[in-house]
Amino acid sequence: MTRTTGRRSGVAPAPRGQVRRRRGVQRWHVAAALATLVLAALASLFVGVGDLTPADLLDPDEAQARVLWTSRVPRLLAILLAGSAMAVAGLVMMHLTRNRFVSPQTAGTTEWVGLGIVVATLSFGGASVLGKMVIGVVFALAGTALFVWLLQRMVLTDVVVVPLVGILLGGVVSAAATFLAYRFDLLQTVDVWMNGDFSGVLAGRYELLWLVLAATVVAYLWADRFSVAGMGESFAINLGVAYTRVVMVGLAIASVVTAIVVVSVGSIPFLGLVVPNLVTLAMGDDLRRVLPVTALTGAAFVLVCDVLARTVRYPYEVPVGMIGGVVGGVLFIWLLLRARKRAL
Amino acid sequence: MAAVLTAPQRAVRRRRTLVVLGVLTLAVVAAFLTVDVTGSWDYALQQRGRRLAAMAVVAVAVAVSTVLFQTVTNNRILTPEIMGFDRLFVLIQTVGVFSLGAATVTTTDPRLRFAVEVVVLIGFGALLYRSLFGRTERDVYVLVLLGVVLGSTFTSLTLLVSRLIDPNEFLTLQDLLFASFNSVDRQMLALSAVLVALVTAGVWRLLPRLDVVALGRDTAVGLGVEHRRVVDRALLAVAVLVAVATALVGPITFLGLLVANLARQLLGTHRHAWVLPGAALLALLALAGGQLVLEQVFGFNSSLSIVVNFVGGIVFIALLVREPRQ
């Protein structure tokens, strides 16, 4: 399979299935979105308690430079990394499970990471971020594997049963984590991972998040393979794709990204679900074409939520996960009702 | 399995099951009141008695509301809690404190406050769920997923609003929100008991018609039951009961699901006159027994709702995964 540029790969066979391909999105739409993102990103640098105006950028004094480089810029980077990677993780999961409503947040993966964090904190005392991350990744992989195993066992009558089981499974895991946390006075830890929050991001404390960029790049390089795998096992094997391996790699990428993001900044509910859905609604299902736009939209979504979270009760902050939970939940409900109306 | 039994035999078996349940519940209640009392018996009995009374009120409220809701929606995996009713109530309380201020809320007569909250819940709930039910009729899984997402959105919104509240006022809210069996207000308890008793008495008069409604809308209409009216009344009762239970002890999502299904299975019938008392007894058994085991065996205090959600979640997944095969 030769690799072409993202734009031209629209010609290659893509998992269009019964989904109508729309040509509504033009190149200038993407350019406009990108410009908006850049503008919002710049704006976000100047939201905060410490005084910093665009004019100061030209000639910052020492304090302003410190605010900029230890807090504002790392925070912006963390938002962009986490937002884009989670959206892409959701997109990959959606393709591989062939279900629009499956994402790390609706498969219980997030909650498994949370349980992993509690276990890590318990068994190694105040485990280092890296230690938590490793254990988080292990739990995320195991949890996703369990979900996929359950998926195979289910007699599917309806696409929405899959996310439903995933969400409930997440609830059970989260109850287990809360129980442990309650028992050992770690409830604050649970609070932190349940409500994503970028206020703790400072230079020197977020750098592990860069790992998700690597995962996102791998996802892009393998986009065509995920597309083929998303067309079903026999189809993929006929086309010469090692179906099982591709699916495993894809789900592993999604799990690892989720674990890293949740350990670093906490969970942003529905992010991995609504962003890929909105983008594929507008652009169709060609994975390679959609993936970069999904990443951009995910970053923009989190960025907007974070700026909101920082301004809604200025000078205090609200965890971005709460804003994301409200916005994402409303969007999810809209998507559900919409999908249902079209199916009827 | 009960197919070979004749009708009278089944009635005898049902009665026996109910009696066994009653005796078991009594035993657990007695144990709950008396086990490991050190110091003053008067004090211990008074304290535990109040907690037990709260449990009984919640047990009846949760059992009756769940069974009614399942009858009305004609499905045994839907419950008001899964549809987000209890979270909606918490959200209403939070928004109340946010918009009116803690001072207004605390100085209002709790009975008046509760009445207003319930009315708002009924209004919002009717609006929200009427439109959802109308749009996705008979599509149970979509409904459940919608309910779950609604519940989680309500929770996010509650957290968000509570962050916007002044920290001092938030303390008041916390008293309202983080209720548990250990911190039940006596006045609220009395009010709740009266409300639950009244509503349950009202429901009792509906029972024959509810049995018909359980057969499905078309059959019920064919048999001459005013389906819409019975459903409206049942939903009204559900809203009041959910509000009472949530106001007393906060959300316990899966309790109703567990006891309603277990009661039907144990009693081998869908008739409300049997299922309602069975489910209520099971709920009290689960609450008092669960608390007893947690406290005495594990030395925990108030994590019962977490355990119920853990067990209930697993049962729910099993129900979902197995349902289509039957």
Q: Across the 344 residues of chain A, what is the mean pLDDT of every consecutive 10-residue run? A: 39 45 64 85 81 73 82 90 95 90 90 91 76 91 91 72 87 88 79 80 84 93 90 86 90 94 90 90 85 92 90 83 91 84 62
Tell me which residues of chain B, numbers 247 to 276, contact chain A at a CB-CB cutoff of 8 Å: 253
Q: What separation in angstroms does the CA of A79 have from each of A82, A219, A305, B56?
A: 5, 19, 10, 48
pLDDT at B226 over 80: yes
Q: Is the dihedral of CA A263, A268, A269, A271 positive or negative?
A: negative
Kindly provide the residue ranges of all beta strands, DSSP E only, lying in A14-139, ordered along the sequence.
Answer: none
pLDDT bracket for residue B219 (50, 70, 90):
confident
Residue B113 and residue B178 in contact, taking contact as beta carbons nearer than 8 Å? no
ipTM score:
0.79
Q: Which residues contact A183 (CB under 8 A, 6 or more apart)?
A: B300, B303
Residue A307 and residue A44 in contact, taking contact as beta carbons nearer than 8 Å? yes
pLDDT at A85: 95
With pLDDT > 70 as the criterion, what percentage of chain B qualifies?
88
Give A181's contacts in chain B (Cβ within 8 Å): none
Whole-angstrom distance, CA of residue A260 vs CA of residue A270: 17
pLDDT at B323: 59
Question: Given an 8 Å threshold on Cβ–Cβ distance, is B145 in contact with A160?
Answer: yes
Of the listed ranges A200-214, A329-343, B52-66, B194-208, the one predicted with least confidence: A329-343
pLDDT at A173: 93
Q: Which residues contact A141 (CB under 8 A, 6 or more apart)?
A: A252, A255, A256
pTM over 0.90: no
pLDDT at B258: 87
pLDDT bracket for residue B138 (50, 70, 90):
low
pLDDT at B34 over 50: yes
Tell me the nearest-neighbour CA distance from B145 into chain A, angstroms. 6
Give B313's contacts in chain A (Cβ within 8 Å): 168-169, 171-172, 175
Of the listed ranges A47-61, A202-216, B107-121, B153-167, the one predicted with least confidence: A47-61
* Phi–psi pair at B301, nearest 5 degrees: -110, -70
pLDDT at A191: 76
pLDDT at B113: 79
pLDDT bracket for residue B112 (50, 70, 90):
confident
Tell me the nearest-neighbour CA distance from A340 into chain B, angstroms. 8
pLDDT at B284 over 80: yes
Q: Does B153 touch chain A (CB under 8 A)?
A: yes
When pLDDT is averaged across residues B6-27 and rounded to a whole number, the result is 88
- Residue scoring higher pLDDT (B253 or A297): A297
Question: Given an 8 Å threshold on Cβ–Cβ distance, is B148 in contact with A329?
Answer: no
Give A182's contacts in chain B (Cβ within 8 Å): 300, 303, 306
Give B141's contacts in chain A (Cβ within 8 Å): 157-158, 160-161, 164
Phi-psi region of B164 (alpha: psi -120 to 50; beta: other; left: phi over 0): alpha
Q: Does A313 touch chain B (CB under 8 A)?
A: yes
Q: Which residues contact B319 (CB under 8 A, 6 or more apart)?
A: B76, B77, B261
pLDDT bracket for residue B175 (50, 70, 90):
low
| Cis check: omega of the bond before A315, within 30 degrees of 0 | yes
Q: For all residues of chain B together, what is the average pLDDT?
A: 82
Whole-angstrom distance, CA of residue B139 vs CA of residue B126: 18
pLDDT at A312: 84
